[in-house]
Structure 1
Amino acid sequence: MIYMIRKLQLPVLLLLLLWGPVNGQAGRGQKGTPVPTVVTTGAKDRAQWVKALYKIAWPVVHNLAAGTLKKNLPLEQGPDYNLVVKDVTYLEAVGRTVAGIAPWLELPDDATEEGALRAKMRRELLQGLRNAVDPENPDCLNFKKQNQPIVDAAYLSHAFLRAPKALWEPLDSLTKRRYIDAFKSLRNRSGAYNNWLVFAALIEGFLRYIGEDYDPVRVDYALNKMKDWYTGDSWYKDGDLFSMDYYNSYVIHPMLTDLIRTLLEKRPGKVHVTTRDYETALSRMVRHAEFLERIIGPDGTYPAFGRSVTYRTAAFQALGQVALMEKLPEHIQPAQVRCALTKVITNMFDGNQNFDANGWLVLGFNGHQPMMADVYTSTGSLYMATLGFLPLGLPADNKFWTDPPADWTSKRAWSGQPVKKDYKVEY
């Protein structure tokens, strides 16, 4: 169905609020009666998620393990691309992919078909992680040139924090040392005055987690600036000015919350954080997850606004992380999040519109749309999409997967069902 949308002269925030009315008709019959929900099960939904995540991640993981990532990864770039693509795109692909698949790989082995895929992915990734810092390997990644590696070393650090038993502890001592040295080498550079502060801080937080010397100044500075940049009702500014985009979910909430949790676990330290700091960060992320659940339309679409929309399902990282932590608000059932995200994932990845002939992601939002890419976007950048799959870290017998299907908020609202009124929350 094609919808005709009139151009509105309204602030972009209002676009977010109006998304339901524009897309909501998919959830209504001719007389406003509910359209029957397609019969499905949590097991079928999970299989759909695994299929999509494997389809996205396997080319990166397998080629890195084989030492052929630099040979085979396309170098497609956005208009007016302003980085040195060969210096940054490979680490982008690896760091972002691993951060998204880490919770899934942390699950124990089992005898299921999914378990076999997971074990295969983990085995190849561990080999790839060794190759990535082996100076004799053709896929040895760059950490020493350009500023961009600060970003993707942070995603690697996040992966190690999310799956220490699966991804960090099995590495040999030489490989671990090489990662530690690579992360510390980033201290001679600084990035942008925005969410990049959190990247630098998380790397140092990981070093603190494994008992290495870390830079408390980078951590303390990021924590203090994020306090300054909090605007209310779960939204942080991304620097001195507010940006209406998905960076609160791409970066800020998940990394900030995990950074504070990591520092708390390793007290005492040179950076002073409290349980209250963590509870505040977590409460804000939970509130932000409410927004993300509400913007998923009845048909499983969501608005393509702001920077970096080519990161696709990464827009729902904060929602997925809250679900993974089993911290969803009481009025949001795990099954409604599962069903909403399943519809998004199916829309995005069930077809081949977002992949080239060799299975690599293409520049765009839902299809090959290179005009939507930013000046820093290349093929490797796109693998942020895996961050939308964090709930796969919940075992298959968790209620997220076993509860019967449930309509999500916009689908209920547009079919006349009861919906909790939304109102600002102050933390």
Structure 2
Amino acid sequence: MHKRDFMKAALVGAATLGSGAASVAKPAAAPVDDRAYMAGLLEKIASPVLAAMSKGELKKTFPLELSPTWDGRESGVAYLECFGRMISGLSPWLALPEDATAEGKVRKRLTEQALQSYVHAVDPASPDYLLWRGHGQALVDSAYFTQALLRAPKALWEPLDATTKKRIIEEIKGLRRVNPPFINWLLFAAMNEAFLLQIGEEADPMRLNTAVRMIDEWYIGDGWIKDGATFHFDYYGSFVMHPMMIQVLEVMEAHKAPFWKDDLTKWRELAVKRAQRYSEHLERFVSPEGTFPPFGRSLTYRTAVFQPLAMLALRKQLPAKLSEGQVRSALVAAHKAVFSQPSNFTKDSFLTIGFAGHNPALGDWYSNNGSMYITAEGFLALGLPASDSFWTAPAQAWTQKLAFSGQPFQKDYAVDY
């Protein structure tokens, strides 16, 4: 597919809100269109950020937008939020082998820009040196920054020069100064320690073990996890809890890290099972039109809601009840429902604060337009090659589409793990 055809397919897909999966008469067309749409949309989200930051010009060109209820913290936190969250979701796509396709050429360009952006992020002499040493918010977004390096080590970590690697390690260790509150922030501290452990640096076992123990204590059943002492009915299981818990446990298991109880393999397998159950709920949230319930904190994170579903698809760990064709169709439909609104982007294609369109009033007291780039986490399945069965399987109706068209669909029952 030529690049102009690749982008045309993405634009055509974005314009067909509510079409959902391909028609029964043309099942072969859906996989190509679905991937082209998702890849084109992710390129649109990532390109302005990486094009600017790779030249040290993100702060110069990224127009800050703060929530009307902004708490007054230093606004410079937005740039680490923007790059860290975006690169985390983008990284599996960049990890694919190089190829000569139009998509491959896009990935190559974005990877080269991402590497240069990592250099600027930690170079004190760069205009785009990020706010590592100011507000404690840096701990949050450093975890996405390092998560990307764990997800795509050969594409994003290994090619970096020795000076940049040393600077990254210093900045990540420096964030141990932030004492994380006993909420989801424990996982941000643990993710950074997992990164250090993975690259052979000394990691803090207390930060790793405390996060795992508390997330387990906060698990309330049927796939749902409290955020600290209080249960919040929101999507933090998607934004943080399930994905980071699994990744932290994987690294600990691989390196035989000190652990407080039983064996790490059992705990990692349990975390996956719980994420699978939670993902069954996510799939059932998608309406026949691709919309999904707008509830809870950080709603402006848009399609990051579907990070666990996309992550399990990437890892070939989808629940047995969910086929690849139905999950792909549901994810594409949800992205179309959100991103069909042009006001999601500024005229320069930077994300705005909002949900399905620009709506700054939906922002929380910690929200800025850099925060919005966590939506890239909904695109993790692009880390599977175009030839993978996730993309080539025939499109299938997801649960609500079956239910509201009078077709048979599976009943749902709680689990006891």
Q: What TM-score results when the alignment is normalised by the length of structure 2?
A: 0.92
CA distances 1:130-156 after superposition (whole Å, capped 9, x unpaired):
111111110011111111000000001
Q: Does 1:421 align with 2:411?
A: yes
The 1:38–1:318 alpha-carbon spacing in structure 2 relative to 1, beyond 3 Å, is: farther
CA distance in 1, matches of 2:186, 2:89: 21
CA distances 1:175-231 after superposition (whole Å, capped 9, x unpaired):
011000000001111233210011111111110111101111111111111111110
Quote how far apart the aligned CAs of 1:38 are: 8.4
**Alignment-derived partner of residue 386 in structure 1:** 376
Quote how far apart the aligned CAs of 1:347 are: 2.2
**Alignment-derived partner of residue 87 in structure 1:** 76
**Alignment-derived partner of residue 57 in structure 2:** 68
DSSP-derived class of the 2:220 partner = strand
The 1:350–1:135 alpha-carbon spacing in structure 2 relative to 1, beyond 3 Å, is: same
DSSP-derived class of the 1:86 partner = coil
The 1:75–1:100 alpha-carbon spacing in structure 2 relative to 1, beyond 3 Å, is: same
Please tell me whether the aligned partners of residues 87 and 146 of structure 1 are also in contact (alpha carbons under 8 angstroms): no
**Alignment-derived partner of residue 245 in structure 2:** 256
Q: Does 1:342 align with 2:328?
A: no
Quote how far apart the aligned CAs of 1:75 are: 1.4
CA distances 1:279-324 after superposition (whole Å, capped 9, x unpaired):
1001001111111111000000001110001000000001100111
CA distance in 1, matches of 2:402, 2:252: 40
CA distance in 1, matches of 2:414, 2:220: 12
Q: Does 1:243 align with 2:232?
A: yes
CA distance in 1, matches of 2:151, 2:374: 15
Moved over 3 A (4+): 35-40, 268-273
Q: Does 1:286 align with 2:276?
A: yes
Matches within 5 A, 1:11-410: 39=26, 40-269=29-258, 273-410=263-400
Please tell me whether the aligned partners of residues 82 and 370 of structure 2 are also in contact (alpha carbons under 8 angstroms): yes
The 1:260–1:146 alpha-carbon spacing in structure 2 relative to 1, beyond 3 Å, is: same
The 1:321–1:97 alpha-carbon spacing in structure 2 relative to 1, beyond 3 Å, is: same
Task: Provide the identity percentage.
Answer: 44
The 1:66–1:294 alpha-carbon spacing in structure 2 relative to 1, beyond 3 Å, is: same
User: How many residues end up aligned between the 2 structures?
Assistant: 396
CA distance in 1, matches of 2:145, 2:379: 16
Please tell me whether the aligned partners of residues 52 and 350 of structure 1 are also in contact (alpha carbons under 8 angstroms): no
CA distance in 2, matches of 1:270, 1:259: 12
DSSP-derived class of the 1:137 partner = coil
Quote how far apart the aligned CAs of 1:418 are: 1.3
CA distance in 1, matches of 2:337, 2:312: 22
Please tell me whether the aligned partners of residues 143 and 149 of structure 1 are also in contact (alpha carbons under 8 angstroms): yes
> What letter matches 2:323 in structure 1?
Q
CA distance in 1, matches of 2:175, 2:257: 25
Please tell me whether the aligned partners of residues 353 and 368 of structure 2 are also in contact (alpha carbons under 8 angstroms): yes
> What letter matches 2:198 in structure 1?
Y
The 1:85–1:313 alpha-carbon spacing in structure 2 relative to 1, beyond 3 Å, is: farther
Q: Which runs of 5+ in 2 are unaligned?
A: 1-17
Q: Which runs of 5+ in 1 are unaligned?
A: 1-25, 28-34
